[in-house]
Structure 1
Amino acid sequence: MSRDRWRPAIESAHRLSLGRLFETGALEVAADTSGCWHWSRNGEKVAEVRYEASLGETEGTLGLFYNWTHDGEVKAVRCHIRLSSLPLNYGGRRWYMHCPYTNRRALVLHKFAAIEQFCHRTTVRPLPTYASQRVGGCDRVIEQRWALRRRMGDTMSDLCGEPYKPKWMRWHTFERYAARDAELAAREAAYMKRMFGIASIYNVVSLWI
């Protein structure tokens, strides 16, 4: 499923966890259940979902009912999720949800804002990523350098120079940290050189356009 190279962050989606459903009693083996739950973000309710579930000893169904707003229009959605289970070697069964789009087994399904139903995260193309994966290479290196200083307890230096040695730290420990910082600083400089080199090319091109 592709939406013109749309690529959401996984954190932006509502998560439907099978383990959590069993833990809260929303799902029970050999029972019919129903109810309603809410999703909140920053203390504010952002979604309300009604559910109806029917489980046997080995398989079942879960129906979700909610409103989906897309392109300014509100649509009532019924998301039908098949449930199945596999026997475990040590007894009992492991339950799974099936993606409504691909039928792929999953322990967690995701509801992205631009997609009508809950789905396995591999349904979306290109694949969704975590927000941390979108940080550029140079930003990652800078964050690693700051993290190194936090581990050292160095509150005096900045990234323009070498780290500051706390009085309590042994020299061989400090030298190990300093060597790692120098390695990261070299990588940062290489990223910056490439970035400014590309920027210079674009500036030259723009002068001729």
Structure 2
Amino acid sequence: MAAKLRNRKPIEAATYLSIDCLSLARMPAGRHKHGKAVRAVKIRHRLQNLTVAETDLQAEFDQTGGAVALKHRGVDGMLIEHTVRLEPVPQHFGGQRWFFVCPRTGARARKLYRYPGMLEFSCRQGLPTNITYHCQRDSGAKRVMRQIWKLRTKVGDSRGLLGTLGQPEGMDDSAYFRSATRYLQLADRLDFSTRDIKLRRTP
């Protein structure tokens, strides 16, 4: 698995834009002279509390579609400007859900990404290199530990990774039994002895 991921770029290294930042579902106050709604948004991309890139978005749209002109100063210092189409998709229970139309693939996407050196934003499928996610680079033990912490948080007992797992007030016995069984299975996968793990009801 490690060999397969070695030549892939982490998705965290890419700058991304989300369609949600434009709030297209909410009708804006601004109106274009041709009757289209307009919205301007400035995004500062931050890394460790430092602004590393900036993007200016200027969207024009109506109920049938639209476009957003973006001006992006990237981490690599490049200034890129291009336009991305916007497309609404009707929902079964009313309303619309908006998507970017990827400039590279033509596919609908809720997020667009750009790695340093790219001349435009793209959906994941249009990126020039294979990508990998943070969870894919985790070891098996780290994934198991993450599941244990999630389970302990669920039952309201986060005093330690392993040890006593208390049953909180209000949780019925069957739900607690399922959580406790899963907890012991995960502890066993970490090669910890389950003999020292105690299960008890939290007072």
Shorter-chain TM range is 0.5 to 0.7
- In 2: Cα distance, 1:154 partner to 1:52 partner: 46
The correspondence for 1:39, drawn from 38, 44, 49, is 44
The change in CA–CA distance for 1:26 and 1:45 in structure 2 (over 3 A counts) is: farther
Identity among equivalent pairs (%): 23
Read off the aligned partner of 1:180 and give its amino acid letter: R
2:74 pairs with 54, 62, 68, which one?
A: 68
Q: How big is the shift at 1:183? A: 1.7
Mark the CA change 1:166 to 1:84 in structure 2 (over 3 Å): closer, same or farther: closer
Q: Where in structure 2 are the equivalents of 1:120-139 lying within 5 Å?
A: 120-124=123-127, 125-129=129-133, 131-139=134-142
Question: Contact 2:111–2:123 at 8 Å: present in 1 too?
Answer: yes
Given the alignment of the two structures, is residue 49 of structure 1 paired with residue 55 of structure 2, yes or no? yes
1:101 aligned residue (100, 104, 115): 104
Q: CA RMSD in A?
A: 4.1
Classify the secondary structure of the residue corresponding to 1:189. coil
1:186 pairs with 2:188:
yes
Give the SS at the match of 1:118: coil
TM-score normalised by the chain length of structure 2? 0.62
User: Alpha-carbon deviation of 1:119?
Assistant: 1.5
User: Match of 2:65?
Assistant: 59
1:17 matched residue in structure 2: 19
Q: What is the aligned partner in structure 2 of residue 199 from structure 1?
A: none
SS at match of 1:185: helix
Aligned mates of 1:175, 1:93 — CA distance in 2? 43
- Count residues with an aligned counterpart: 178
Q: Is the 8 A contact 2:68 2:85 kept in 1?
A: yes
CA contact (8 A) 1:51 1:64 kept: yes
Shift of 1:31: 1.9
Instruction: Give the Cα–Cα distance (whole angstroms) in 1 for the partners of residues 7 and 54 of structure 2.
Output: 29
Tell me if structure 2 keeps the 8 A contact 1:81–1:99. yes
Contact 1:148–1:181 (CA under 8 A) maintained in structure 2: yes
Superposition TM-score, scaled by structure 1 size: 0.61
| Structure 1: distance between partners of 2:82 and 2:44 | 16
Letter in 2 for 1:78: E
Q: Which has the larger radius of gyration?
A: 1
Q: Which amino acid aligns with 2:84?
A: I
Structure 1 residue 77 displacement after superposition: 0.8
Equivalent AA in structure 2 for residue 53 of structure 1: A
> Structure 1's 175 and 76: CA in aligned 2 closer, same or farther, altered over 3 A?
closer
Q: Does 1:110 align with 2:113?
A: yes
Q: Displacement of 1:66 after TM fit?
A: 2.0
| Structure 2: runs of 5 or more not aligned | 1-5, 193-203
